[in-house]
Amino acid sequence: MTNHRTYKKIEIVGTSPHSIEEAVQNAISECSVTIKNMDWFEVVETRGHIVEDKVAHFQVTLKIGFRIEAS
């Protein structure tokens, strides 16, 4: 019999004043404090804040999938 897994998906927002990539990494790093067995992420929205005609801040909404542990 194959080993089927069950996953849960949550949505979080990461931020960074430097880049979209750093916003993604910040979200994953913070999430890893309480969520274990993370397997994948999906970027579902990207936003930014503009100050004086320049990008001042990035916000990235992610869906993160993680395995549910069998009891």
Instruction: Sketch out the chain's domains with CATH numbers.
Output: 7-67 (3.30.1660.10)
pLDDT in the model for residue 42 = 97
Residue 32: closest CA among 5, 62, 6: 62
pLDDT in the model for residue 69 = 79
Distance in angstroms (rounded) separating the CA atoms of residues 27 and 35: 12
Distance in angstroms (rounded) separating the CA atoms of residues 3 and 9: 20
Question: pTM (2 decimals)?
Answer: 0.84
Residue 38: closest CA among 13, 8, 71, 61: 8
Helix (H) / strand (E) element for 64: namely strand 54-67
pLDDT (average), residues 59-69: 94
Q: Tell me the one-letter amino acid at 18.
A: H
